[in-house]
A and B are shown apart, each in its own frame.
Chain A
Amino acid sequence: MKIQNDTGAVQTGGKRTMPIIKPGAMQQVLAFASLVILVLVFSFSSPNFFQFTNIVGILLSTAVIGVLALGSTFVIITGGIDLSVGTVMTLSAIMTGVFITYWELPVPLGIVGGIMTGAICGLLSGTIISKMKIPPFIATLAMMMIAKGLALVISGAKPIYFKEETGYSKLALDSAIGKFIPGFDIPNGVLIFFAAAIIGGIILSKTIVGRYNFALGSNEEATRLSGINVNYWKIVIYTITGTFTGLAGVLMASRLNSAHPSLGSGYELEAIAAVVLGGTSLSGGKGTIVGTVIGALIMSVLTNGLRILSVPQEWQTVVVGIVIVLAVYADILRRRKK
Chain B
Amino acid sequence: MKKITVTMLVMLLTIAMLSACASKGNDGKGGESPSKGSTNAGAEKIYIPIISKGFQHQFWQAVKAGAEKAAKEFNVEITFEGPETESQVDKQIEMLQAALDKKPSALGFAALDSQASIPLLQKAKDAGIPVIAFDSGVDSDIPLATASTDNLAAAALAADKMAELIGGEGEIGMIVHDQTSVTGASRRDGFKKQIEDKYPNIKIVDIQYGGGDHLKSTDLAKAIIQAHPNVKGFFGANEGSAIGVINAVTELKKEGKIVVVGFDSGKQQIDAIKSGKMAGAITQNPVGIGYETVKAAVQAIRGEKVESVIDTGFYWYDKSNIDSDEIKAVIYE
Q: Classify the secondary structure of B's interface with A.
A: helix
Within 8 Å of chain A (Cβ to Cβ): is B201? no
Contact A152 B219 (CB under 8 A): no
Cα–Cα distance between A158 and B9 once the two chains are bound (Å): 27
Interface size on A, residues (CB 8 A): 48
Cα–Cα distance between A242 and B247 once the two chains are bound (Å): 28
Within 8 Å of chain A (Cβ to Cβ): is B24? yes
Cα–Cα distance between A295 and B213 once the two chains are bound (Å): 23
Within 8 Å of chain B (Cβ to Cβ): is A48? yes
Binding stretch for chain B, among A24-32, A213-221, A277-285, A302-310: A302-310
Given A158-B61, A173-B251, answer yes or no on A124-B10 (Cβ-Cβ < 8 Å).
yes
Q: Which of B48-68 contact A (CB under 8 A)?
A: 55-58, 61
Given A53-B226, A57-B226, A123-B6, answer yes or no on A157-B29 (Cβ-Cβ < 8 Å).
yes
Q: Which of A249-263 contact B (CB under 8 A)?
A: 252, 255-258, 260-263
Given A153-B21, A307-B227, answer yes or no on A260-B214 (Cβ-Cβ < 8 Å).
yes
Within 8 Å of chain A (Cβ to Cβ): is B90? no
Q: Which of B11-70 contact A (CB under 8 A)?
A: 13, 16-17, 20-21, 23-24, 26-29, 55-58, 61
Least CB separation from B251: chain A residue: A173
Q: Which of A276-304 contact B (CB under 8 A)?
A: 303-304
Cα–Cα distance between A127 and B7 once the two chains are bound (Å): 11
Contact B214 A308 (CB under 8 A): no
Least CB separation from B28: chain A residue: A153
Contact B214 A256 (CB under 8 A): yes
Within 8 Å of chain B (Cβ to Cβ): is A95? yes
For A152, give its contact among B56, B209, B228 (CB under 8 Å).
B56
Contact A57 B219 (CB under 8 A): yes
For B9, give its contact among A120, A173, A256 (CB under 8 Å).
A120
Collect the chain A residues with CB atoms within 8 Å of residue B303's CB: none
Contact A64 B21 (CB under 8 A): no
Contact A102 B29 (CB under 8 A): no
Within 8 Å of chain A (Cβ to Cβ): is B114? no
Q: Classify the secondary structure of A's interface with B.
A: helix
Query: Digit string of B264-306 for contact with A (CB within 8 Å is 1, else 0)?
Result: 0011100000000000000000000000000000000000000
Collect the chain B residues with CB atoms within 8 Å of residue A156's CB: 24, 26-28
Query: Digit string of A49-89 for contact with B (CB within 8 Å is 1, else 0)?
Result: 10101100100110010000000000000000000000000
For B16, give its contact among A51, A95, A232, A255 (CB under 8 Å).
A95
Cα–Cα distance between A64 and B85 once the two chains are bound (Å): 22
Given A161-B268, A252-B215, answer yes or no on A102-B24 (Cβ-Cβ < 8 Å).
yes
Cα–Cα distance between A53 and B29 once the two chains are bound (Å): 42
Within 8 Å of chain A (Cβ to Cβ): is B208? yes
Q: Which of A106-139 contact B (CB under 8 A)?
A: 117, 120, 123-124, 127
Which one of B28, B58, B220 has the greatest number of beta carbons of chain A within 10 Å? Answer: B28
B228 → chain A closest CB, angstroms: 8
Least CB separation from B229: chain A residue: A48
Q: Which of A139-165 contact B (CB under 8 A)?
A: 150, 152-154, 156-159, 161
Collect the chain B residues with CB atoms within 8 Å of residue A11's CB: none
Cα–Cα distance between A116 and B79 once the two chains are bound (Å): 36
Cα–Cα distance between A130 and B36 once the two chains are bound (Å): 44
Q: Which of B184-236 contact A (CB under 8 A)?
A: 205-206, 208-209, 213-215, 218-220, 222-224, 226-229
Contact A263 B215 (CB under 8 A): yes
For A307, give its contact among B6, B17, B223, B252 (CB under 8 Å).
B223
Within 8 Å of chain B (Cβ to Cβ): is A98? yes
Given A57-B226, A156-B28, answer yes or no on A263-B219 (Cβ-Cβ < 8 Å).
no
Contact A57 B223 (CB under 8 A): yes
Within 8 Å of chain B (Cβ to Cβ): is A12? no
Least CB separation from A300: chain B residue: B219
B218 → chain A closest CB, angstroms: 8
> Can you list 6 A-B pairs, Cβ within 8 angstroms, ordered by A?
A53-B252, A102-B24, A154-B21, A303-B219, A310-B205, A310-B227
Given A54-B223, A57-B226, A98-B20, 4 more contacts at CB 8 Å?
A: A57-B251, A117-B13, A258-B214, A265-B84
Question: Which 4 residue pairs across A and B have the least CB separation, nearest first?
Answer: A307-B223, A262-B56, A61-B219, A308-B227
Interface residues of B (CB under 8 A from A): 2, 6, 9-10, 13, 16-17, 20-21, 23-24, 26-29, 55-58, 61, 84-85, 179, 205-206, 208-209, 213-215, 218-220, 222-224, 226-229, 243, 247, 251-252, 266-268
